């Protein structure tokens, strides 16, 4: 089963930019199939197409041969043209990727550095070191938005913490009463502590910053002892895409370094999951209450067939998290089941 799904995933591409609302859905599906069957578009035989999907203007198309999917992806430009369309529409074709956690957004407060650096120059330095990230404009307040994969943002966080630490050490030489710009640094959304670990009178503490979706998956599917260790107390604070864990010893004399060991294991498992998990969002905007309930009911019914898939229902959408193969099949079945219910109501 997994081998078959893996092969299908490799033969599937994601098509974005499909003109929405111009023609009937079945007609648009036919136009897309015709386009991707043509040799001039590097195409070939199409096995299946899913359109419409939960994402506006997006279709999933599966070819019979993986080589055709790879060839289609190599074409620089896809222009959707047909006599039933008033003009051509550029399409974006991307592989069905395993790594979909790629849109974590954080807002950084860089004003902590303004007394020591020209912020514009510092931002340029950061951009050169973090080419995988996208940056918004620097605001007059010192705030700047950054978007990219969670590991890339973690690297940026570490870089900024080193910068902040150097400022703290410089200020410490001037006055012991100003050891670090802690309050300002806490405004950085990536973390609520300038140190990865500190020591206090009661024992060792650790801080771990995680992608929220990855953390939720860990809570549901990893061994409970990892996040519910009897010797280590773990509390969490979630701020949108980011969840911060605080780890501290709860027994008087546990093994030295036990909290650090738990922290490192959580980070290790988080990185493994980030590289294998995929998330699809089933949008419920535009549906009435009964229709939304149908989606949630279908998801609950199908969950038993996909024991490794995490389904998180919200008021406006449903998030589906798991490996790409199962998530692809799960969301596809949900879509078909719900559309069938709508047609027979």
- 3-state SS of 160-218? HHHHHHHHHHHHHHHCCCCCCCHHHHCCCCCCCCCCCEEEECCEEEEEEEEEHHHHHHH
pTM value is 0.53
Positions in the chain whose pLDDT score sits under 70? 1-7, 54-55, 97-105, 132, 148-152, 154, 167-204, 229, 251-256, 275, 342-345
Q: What tokens does 310 get? A: 């995490």
Mean pLDDT across the chain, nearest whole number?
A: 78
Residue-wise burial string across 306-336, b where 16 or more C-beta atoms lie within 10 A, e elsewhere:
beebbbbeeeebbebbbbbbbbbbbbebbbe
Cα four-point dihedral sign 55, 285, 242, 263: negative
Element counts in the chain: helices (H) and strands (E): 11, 15
Question: What pLDDT is attached to residue 249?
Answer: 82
CA-CA distance, 54 to 7, in Å (whole number)? Answer: 23
Question: What pLDDT is attached to residue 181?
Answer: 38
| SS3 category, 320 | strand
Edge-to-edge strands of the sheet including 143-148?
104-109, 143-148, 134-135
Question: What pLDDT is attached to residue 241?
Answer: 75
Residue-wise burial string across 207-220, b where 16 or more C-beta atoms lie within 10 A, e elsewhere:
bbbbbbbbbbbbee
What lies within 8 Å, CB to CB, of 33 at 6+ separation is 46, 49, 61
Question: What pLDDT is attached to residue 179?
Answer: 40
State the DSSP string of 283-311.
Answer: E-TT--HHHHHHHHHHHHHHGGG-TT-EE
Return the number of other C-beta atoms located less than 10 Å from residue 245's C-beta: 20
Q: 19 with 89: CB under 8 angstroms?
A: yes
CA angle centred on 19, ends 17 and 25, rounded to 5°: 120
């Amino acid at each position: 089963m997994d081998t078959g799904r893996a092969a299908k995933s490799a033969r599937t591409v994601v098509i974005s930019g499909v003109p929405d609302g111009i023609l009937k859905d079945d007609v648009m599906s036919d136009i897309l199939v015709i386009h991707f069957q043509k040799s001039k578009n590097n195409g070939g035989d199409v096995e299946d197409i899913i359109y419409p999907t939960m994402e506006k203007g997006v279709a999933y198309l599966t070819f019979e041969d993986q080589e055709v999917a790879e060839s289609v992806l190599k074409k620089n430009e896809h222009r959707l043209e047909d006599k039933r369309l008033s003009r051509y529409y550029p399409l974006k074709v991307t592989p069905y990727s395993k790594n979909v956690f790629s849109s974590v957004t954080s807002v950084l407060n860089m004003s902590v550095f303004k007394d020591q650096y020209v912020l514009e120059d510092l931002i340029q330095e950061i951009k050169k070191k973090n080419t995988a990230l996208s940056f918004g404009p620097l605001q007059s307040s010192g705030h700047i938005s950054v978007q990219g994969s969670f590991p890339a943002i973690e690297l940026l966080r570490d870089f900024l913490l080193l910068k902040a630490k150097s400022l703290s050490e410089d200020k410490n030489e001037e006055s012991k009463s100003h050891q670090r710009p802690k309050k300002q640094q806490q405004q950085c959304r990536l973390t609520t502590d300038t140190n990865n670990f500190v020591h206090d009178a009661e024992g060792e503490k650790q801080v771990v910053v995680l992608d929220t979706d990855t953390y939720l998956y860990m809570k549901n599917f990893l061994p409970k002892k990892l996040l519910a260790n009897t010797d280590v107390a773990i509390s969490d604070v979630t701020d949108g895409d980011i969840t911060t864990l605080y780890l501290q010893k709860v027994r008087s004399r546990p093994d030295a370094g036990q909290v650090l060991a738990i922290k490192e294991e959580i980070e290790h498992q988080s990185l493994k999951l980030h590289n294998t998990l995929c998330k699809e969002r089933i949008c419920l905007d535009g549906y009435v209450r009964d229709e939304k309930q149908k989606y949630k009911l279908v998801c609950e019914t199908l969950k038993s067939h996909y024991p490794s898939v995490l389904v998180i229902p919200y008021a406006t959408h449903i998030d589906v998290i798991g490996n790409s193969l199962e998530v692809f099949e799960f969301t596809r079945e949900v879509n078909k089941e719900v559309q069938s219910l709508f047609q027979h109501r």
